[in-house]
Structure 1
Amino acid sequence: MGYTLEEIARLAGVSRSTVSRVINQHPNVRPEVRERVWRVIREVGYHPHAAARNLVTRRSQIVGVVIPETLPKVFGDPYFPVVLHAISEALAERGYLLVLSLLTPQQEEDFYRRALRGRVVDGIIVVSARTTDPLIARAYRDGLPVVSIGRYPEEPNVSYVDADNVEGARVATEHLLRLGRRRVATIAGPQTMAPGVDRLEGYRIAMQAWGINPPPEWIAEGDFTEAGGYIAMRRLLLARPDAVFVASDLMAVGALKAIREAGLRVPDDIALVGYDDVELARYTDPPLTTVRQPIAELGRVAVRLLLRQLEEGARDPQRVILPTELVIRSSCGALRTLSPSPSKPAI
């Protein structure tokens, strides 16, 4: 049978208003009374009406995860399922539900008005936003809890978690140089996104440290898709690189296809290093050397930062940068050429 607040109050020997205060976590209830009410609630299997509870607490226990990408791109990139699974698990542990929204720029205004202004969700985690995406800054300035997975330079007070993309790209590029490669090109990510900008910066830092100023034809921009990597690699082949640092594993798969179509071999003719270390990287032919970023941990930390705002009322910005790790497999040639170059000659 369905129980009412009045029946719960009668069974617990308290007033209806006391039951309401217990359910809505009001502090002005004696601990022994609170425990008695919750014991009755558990025994009878009572579930408070969510809408009524939300009117009091102004909380829905729902978090929106916003990805400003199209459906095919999100479900075609192995990065997103990993980070979404981690976010979902971390939220469930704290009693929150996840609502996923894939938004085009044209849909953001409607989402903001209906989901955020209407308080359908308590806060949002934004994944893979453009550096100038107005949704994050607008939510922050309106006092709505928001966290970005990925550095967000547009609003310095927004909390975010990111991998150390500059250092990861620097280490990957230097690894190729230490293996004796000198014409090291790169397929960068979109320069409208912080990971694309940061990984290109890491590449440049490594090249310049070795006295190499890469010409424009050694740098091609992709879009973090396999097709984008393929197209970018086709352009780079005209510059005759002997190695390529690719800013995502998925783009590296496309690059590998373009290299093979040109009649070249990896790593004999062109060494290849990717970024992400998604599961796919282990099964390419040859297996892909790549920079491992802690994708699942990015999701878990984002939840922690958001709940800090929701449950503690924190407004001071938190910026968490997680370390990366170079995972060496066959595509860079290191498994056959183990001794590093002893010096850093200019090209």
Structure 2
Amino acid sequence: MALTLEQVATLAGVSRSTVSRVVNDHPNVNAETREAVWGVIHEHGFHPNNAARTLASRRSQMIGLVIPQALSTVFSDPYFPILIQGIAAACEEQEYYLMLSLVRAQSPTTFRRLVGGGHLDGVIVASALATDPFVDRLLIENFPFVLIGRSLSEAPITTIDADNVHGATMATQHLLRLGYKRIATISGPQDMVAGMDRLEGFRVALRAAGTTPPPEYVQEGDWSEWSGQRGMSTLLSLASLPQAVFIASDAMAIGALKVIRSAGMQVPGDIALVSFDDIPLASSLETPLTTVRQPIHQLGYTAASVLIDRLRNSDRGGEATATRIVLPTELVVRASCGQQSRFATAQRQPDARDSHTRHIKGGTPQPEPVHG
């Protein structure tokens, strides 16, 4: 039978608290004592449970995921379930629990409810807002957190992000290389950094090509399918129709496709589309989407892993160092952009979800320190 914490302490000739410090890798334990405790543990098969770890480290073994989005967006956008799966996978590996909170009202009461009382050891904040009072409070309170997305703050914040600017630039350059001149966009929300970055990537590509889109060619969405429908309806009402549209999320692109078909038009025959995310549905639509693949699952997994590593490093007396990790994006070419034959077939690579897919890769992950 496996021993209890108290029995390990008795056999090793130390106190219960000393066993707890050894199990949690606390630095203030001498080598001889550490060796004695681990000797008993290995000999008798002691397995410290989460409750024991919690008592020893004053940790709850629970992190929170805060999503500052409307409920309708979170539950309708396939991005979030994939992100949560990645976070949950890392938590399971590290023996942590995950609590989900959908925060829309940024009030002090909401903040205290989430991070007060010792219920959470740390927080992952998804979908970074350009200005976020919740993140500001986390900084003021020095509460451990990781941000999924790029931060506009000058404060030292650990962030995990996909390369949104480069991904959007690749997508727009692809349309330009295919010969399209009148290129519009349905952007993400401009109060969110990812929406800002993808719009900037679109503009970067057009500026490099010596062109600027007219204001009516830039329609703002909110990541939802409905906003894609609204944006495409506006574009199709213009006197000068765009030949191609870069849409900042697959969910919005699906809405745009519905409007185009309802108008009796074809994709890519009448209007070409390129989008962003590469959700599973993107490859199985009647017209498969050319889209920028961001590593959604890896974003979540990395964010949780980095946060838990930071918590454990703090328990060992280490200092928290803010880092910025940028994961690469790649363009996945399918039917919605049209004129694929202009590209050399030697570049084609098989895709597990779609045999008619080609990849144009971006850069490599770039972790770097953030200095306050």
Length-normalised TM-score, structure 1: 0.88
Partner of 2:243: 242
Distance 1:13 1:292, change over 3 A: same
Does the residue aligned with 1:306 lie in a helix, a strand or coil? helix
Structure 1 distance, partners of 2:34, 2:8, is: 17
Partner of 1:275: 276
Instruction: Indicate which of 303, 318, 321 corresponds to 1:316.
Output: 321
Contact 1:87 1:299 in 2 (8 A): yes
Partner of 1:33: 36
CA drift at 1:8: 4.8
2:333 equivalent to 1:328: yes
Distance 1:165 1:74, change over 3 A: same
Distance 1:20 1:201, change over 3 A: closer
Distance 1:327 1:25, change over 3 A: closer
Distance 1:143 1:241, change over 3 A: same
CA drift at 1:37: 4.1
Partner of 1:95: 95
CA drift at 1:109: 2.8
Gaps of 5+ in 2: 345-372
Partner of 1:146: 145
Specify the code of the residue in structure 1 equivalent to 2:113: R
2:65 equivalent to 1:62: no
CA drift at 1:150: 0.6
Structure 1 window deviating more from structure 2 (3-12 vs 270-279): it is 3-12
Partner of 2:295: 294
Structure 1 window deviating more from structure 2 (11-20 vs 150-159): it is 11-20
Structure 1 window deviating more from structure 2 (18-27 vs 120-129): it is 18-27
Contact 1:67 1:128 in 2 (8 A): yes
Does the residue aligned with 1:117 lie in a helix, a strand or coil? helix
Specify the code of the residue in structure 1 equivalent to 2:94: R
Partner of 2:187: 188
Does the residue aligned with 2:222 lie in a helix, a strand or coil? coil
Structure 1 window deviating more from structure 2 (57-66 vs 275-284): it is 57-66
Does the residue aligned with 1:213 lie in a helix, a strand or coil? coil
Partner of 1:228: 227
Does the residue aligned with 1:256 lie in a helix, a strand or coil? helix
Contact 1:274 1:288 in 2 (8 A): yes
Structure 1 distance, partners of 2:206, 2:120, is: 45
Specify the code of the residue in structure 2 equivalent to 1:211: G
Specify the code of the residue in structure 2 equivalent to 1:184: I
Structure 1 distance, partners of 2:5, 2:306, is: 35
Gaps of 5+ in 1: 340-347
Distance 1:281 1:28, change over 3 A: same
Distance 1:72 1:13, change over 3 A: same
Alpha-carbon displacement from aligned partner over 1:74-127 (angstroms, at most 9, x marks no partner):
121111111111111112222211111111225x53342133132211111111
CA drift at 1:20: 4.6
Contact 1:249 1:281 in 2 (8 A): yes
Distance 1:278 1:55, change over 3 A: same
Partner of 2:354: none
Does the residue aligned with 2:322 lie in a helix, a strand or coil? coil
> How many corresponding residue pairs?
335
Partner of 1:306: 307
Partner of 1:164: 163
Structure 1 distance, partners of 2:272, 2:245, is: 6
Alpha-carbon displacement from aligned partner over 1:277-324 (angstroms, at most 9, x marks no partner):
111100112100001111122112212332343122343321111111
2:196 equivalent to 1:197: yes
Distance 1:281 1:3, change over 3 A: same
C-alpha RMSD of matched pairs (Å):
2.4
Structure 2 distance, partners of 1:155, 1:116, is: 23
CA drift at 1:203: 0.8
Percentage identity across aligned positions? 50
